[in-house]
Homo-oligomer: A and B are copies of this chain.
Amino acid sequence: MKVLILSDDGFEDLELFVPYYRFREEGFVIDVASKKTGEIEGKHDYGIMANKEYAEINPGDYDMLFLPGGKAPAKVRKDENALKIARDFMGKNKPVAAICHGPQILISAGVVSGRQMTCWPDVAKELKEAGALYRDDAVVTDGNLVTSRKPEDLADFMREALKLARTAVPA
Protein backbone atom coordinates (compact mmCIF):
# COMPACT_ATOMS: atom_id res chain seq x y z
CA MET A 1 0.00 0.00 0.00
CA LYS A 2 1.28 3.41 -0.97
CA VAL A 3 -0.29 6.52 0.57
CA LEU A 4 0.07 10.06 -0.77
CA ILE A 5 -0.27 13.03 1.59
CA LEU A 6 -0.82 16.54 0.19
CA SER A 7 0.04 19.31 2.63
CA ASP A 8 1.94 22.52 3.32
CA ASP A 9 3.06 24.77 6.19
CA GLY A 10 0.39 25.23 8.85
CA PHE A 11 -0.87 21.63 8.87
CA GLU A 12 -2.64 20.46 12.03
CA ASP A 13 0.14 18.42 13.62
CA LEU A 14 -1.91 15.59 15.17
CA GLU A 15 -4.07 15.29 12.06
CA LEU A 16 -0.97 14.67 9.99
CA PHE A 17 1.15 12.61 12.39
CA VAL A 18 -1.44 10.31 13.98
CA PRO A 19 -2.42 8.93 10.54
CA TYR A 20 1.22 9.04 9.39
CA TYR A 21 2.41 6.74 12.20
CA ARG A 22 -0.74 4.60 11.94
CA PHE A 23 -0.14 3.98 8.23
CA ARG A 24 3.51 3.18 8.95
CA GLU A 25 2.42 0.76 11.69
CA GLU A 26 0.54 -1.10 8.92
CA GLY A 27 3.69 -1.12 6.78
CA PHE A 28 2.29 1.34 4.25
CA VAL A 29 4.76 3.44 2.28
CA ILE A 30 4.08 7.18 2.50
CA ASP A 31 5.04 10.08 0.26
CA VAL A 32 4.41 13.66 1.37
CA ALA A 33 3.91 16.08 -1.52
CA SER A 34 3.83 19.86 -1.35
CA LYS A 35 4.30 22.73 -3.84
CA LYS A 36 8.04 22.17 -3.45
CA THR A 37 10.15 19.59 -1.66
CA GLY A 38 11.64 20.35 1.77
CA GLU A 39 10.44 20.52 5.34
CA ILE A 40 6.93 21.78 6.01
CA GLU A 41 5.97 22.91 9.50
CA GLY A 42 2.77 22.36 11.47
CA LYS A 43 0.82 24.81 13.66
CA HIS A 44 2.40 23.17 16.72
CA ASP A 45 5.96 23.34 15.33
CA TYR A 46 6.44 19.73 14.31
CA GLY A 47 8.15 19.37 10.95
CA ILE A 48 7.96 16.72 8.25
CA MET A 49 9.89 16.40 5.01
CA ALA A 50 7.87 16.86 1.80
CA ASN A 51 9.80 14.41 -0.39
CA LYS A 52 7.80 15.11 -3.57
CA GLU A 53 6.33 18.12 -5.31
CA TYR A 54 2.80 18.04 -6.73
CA ALA A 55 3.98 18.49 -10.31
CA GLU A 56 6.01 15.27 -10.30
CA ILE A 57 3.25 13.04 -8.85
CA ASN A 58 1.71 10.28 -10.96
CA PRO A 59 -1.47 9.47 -8.99
CA GLY A 60 -1.46 5.98 -10.52
CA ASP A 61 1.57 5.18 -8.34
CA TYR A 62 -0.54 5.48 -5.16
CA ASP A 63 -3.34 3.45 -3.54
CA MET A 64 -4.73 6.09 -1.21
CA LEU A 65 -4.87 9.88 -0.86
CA PHE A 66 -4.79 11.46 2.60
CA LEU A 67 -5.57 15.15 3.21
CA PRO A 68 -4.81 16.42 6.74
CA GLY A 69 -6.26 19.71 8.02
CA GLY A 70 -5.08 22.92 9.68
CA LYS A 71 -4.16 25.98 7.64
CA ALA A 72 -2.36 23.95 4.96
CA PRO A 73 -5.40 23.05 2.81
CA ALA A 74 -6.02 26.79 2.15
CA LYS A 75 -2.64 26.72 0.37
CA VAL A 76 -2.96 23.30 -1.25
CA ARG A 77 -6.35 24.17 -2.80
CA LYS A 78 -4.76 27.02 -4.80
CA ASP A 79 -2.40 24.67 -6.63
CA GLU A 80 -3.80 23.27 -9.87
CA ASN A 81 -1.39 20.31 -9.82
CA ALA A 82 -2.66 19.33 -6.37
CA LEU A 83 -6.27 19.59 -7.53
CA LYS A 84 -5.53 17.37 -10.55
CA ILE A 85 -4.26 14.70 -8.16
CA ALA A 86 -7.43 14.91 -6.06
CA ARG A 87 -9.62 14.70 -9.19
CA ASP A 88 -7.74 11.61 -10.37
CA PHE A 89 -8.33 9.71 -7.11
CA MET A 90 -11.98 10.73 -6.88
CA GLY A 91 -12.64 10.08 -10.57
CA LYS A 92 -11.26 6.55 -10.26
CA ASN A 93 -13.02 5.81 -6.95
CA LYS A 94 -9.71 5.25 -5.21
CA PRO A 95 -9.58 5.66 -1.40
CA VAL A 96 -9.49 9.27 -0.18
CA ALA A 97 -9.41 10.27 3.50
CA ALA A 98 -9.73 13.94 4.53
CA ILE A 99 -10.06 15.55 7.96
CA CYS A 100 -10.90 19.03 9.30
CA HIS A 101 -9.97 21.59 6.61
CA GLY A 102 -8.72 18.82 4.28
CA PRO A 103 -12.08 18.65 2.43
CA GLN A 104 -11.44 22.24 1.19
CA ILE A 105 -9.08 20.66 -1.34
CA LEU A 106 -11.88 18.43 -2.59
CA ILE A 107 -14.23 21.43 -2.82
CA SER A 108 -11.75 23.30 -5.02
CA ALA A 109 -11.21 20.16 -7.09
CA GLY A 110 -14.97 20.17 -7.78
CA VAL A 111 -15.55 16.60 -6.63
CA VAL A 112 -17.86 16.84 -3.59
CA SER A 113 -21.29 17.31 -5.21
CA GLY A 114 -23.76 14.69 -3.97
CA ARG A 115 -21.24 13.12 -1.58
CA GLN A 116 -21.96 12.48 2.10
CA MET A 117 -19.19 14.22 4.04
CA THR A 118 -18.16 16.02 7.17
CA CYS A 119 -15.46 18.65 7.89
CA TRP A 120 -14.33 21.29 10.39
CA PRO A 121 -17.48 23.24 11.49
CA ASP A 122 -16.35 26.50 9.81
CA VAL A 123 -15.96 24.70 6.48
CA ALA A 124 -19.51 23.23 6.56
CA LYS A 125 -21.09 26.22 4.80
CA GLU A 126 -18.86 26.09 1.72
CA LEU A 127 -19.04 22.29 1.68
CA LYS A 128 -22.85 22.46 1.48
CA GLU A 129 -22.71 25.25 -1.12
CA ALA A 130 -20.51 22.96 -3.24
CA GLY A 131 -23.30 20.38 -3.19
CA ALA A 132 -22.05 17.94 -0.55
CA LEU A 133 -24.48 16.26 1.84
CA TYR A 134 -22.98 17.51 5.11
CA ARG A 135 -23.28 15.52 8.33
CA ASP A 136 -22.02 16.61 11.76
CA ASP A 137 -20.64 13.17 12.70
CA ALA A 138 -17.20 12.08 13.98
CA VAL A 139 -16.64 10.16 10.76
CA VAL A 140 -18.60 9.82 7.51
CA THR A 141 -17.86 7.09 4.99
CA ASP A 142 -19.34 7.38 1.49
CA GLY A 143 -17.94 4.88 -0.98
CA ASN A 144 -14.26 5.69 -1.56
CA LEU A 145 -14.36 8.74 0.71
CA VAL A 146 -13.83 8.98 4.50
CA THR A 147 -14.06 12.37 6.24
CA SER A 148 -13.83 13.62 9.83
CA ARG A 149 -14.16 16.96 11.64
CA LYS A 150 -11.23 17.49 14.03
CA PRO A 151 -8.35 15.92 15.99
CA GLU A 152 -10.76 14.48 18.60
CA ASP A 153 -12.25 12.33 15.80
CA LEU A 154 -8.91 10.69 14.91
CA ALA A 155 -9.68 7.29 16.47
CA ASP A 156 -12.92 6.92 14.49
CA PHE A 157 -11.31 8.44 11.40
CA MET A 158 -8.41 6.01 11.39
CA ARG A 159 -10.65 2.99 12.05
CA GLU A 160 -12.68 3.83 8.92
CA ALA A 161 -9.67 4.97 6.85
CA LEU A 162 -7.95 1.63 7.50
CA LYS A 163 -11.08 -0.30 6.51
CA LEU A 164 -11.14 1.70 3.29
CA ALA A 165 -7.42 1.13 2.67
CA ARG A 166 -7.95 -2.62 2.95
CA THR A 167 -10.46 -2.48 0.08
CA ALA A 168 -7.93 -0.82 -2.24
CA VAL A 169 -6.57 -2.61 -5.29
CA PRO A 170 -2.75 -2.27 -4.94
CA ALA A 171 -1.31 0.27 -7.39
**Chain A positions near chain B (C-beta within 8 angstroms):** 13-14, 17-18, 21-22, 24-25, 44-46, 151, 154-156, 158-159
Residues of B within 8 A of A155 (CB): 21-22, 24-25
Contact call A13/B44, Cβ cutoff below 8 A:
yes
Contact call A154/B21, Cβ cutoff below 8 A:
yes
When all copies of this chain in the complex are counted, the total is 2
Contact call A14/B46, Cβ cutoff below 8 A:
yes
Residues of B within 8 A of A17 (CB): 14, 18, 151
A-B CB proximity, top 9 nearest: A24-B155, A44-B44, A21-B154, A25-B155, A21-B155, A18-B21, A25-B159, A25-B158, A14-B17
Residues of B within 8 A of A46 (CB): 13-14, 44
Chain B: CB-nearest residue to A153: B21
Best-buried of A13, A151, A155 by chain B (most CB within 10 Å): A155
Residues of B within 8 A of A151 (CB): 17
Residues of B within 8 A of A22 (CB): 18, 21-22, 25, 155, 158
Q: Give complex CA distance A159, B151 in Å.
A: 21
Residues of B within 8 A of A45 (CB): 44
Residues of B within 8 A of A158 (CB): 21-22, 25
- Interface pairs (8), CB distance under 8 Å: A13-B44, A14-B17, A17-B151, A21-B158, A22-B158, A24-B154, A44-B45, A44-B46
User: From residue A117, how far is it (CB to closest CB) to chain B in Å?
Assistant: 21
Chain B: CB-nearest residue to A158: B25
Chain B: CB-nearest residue to A44: B44
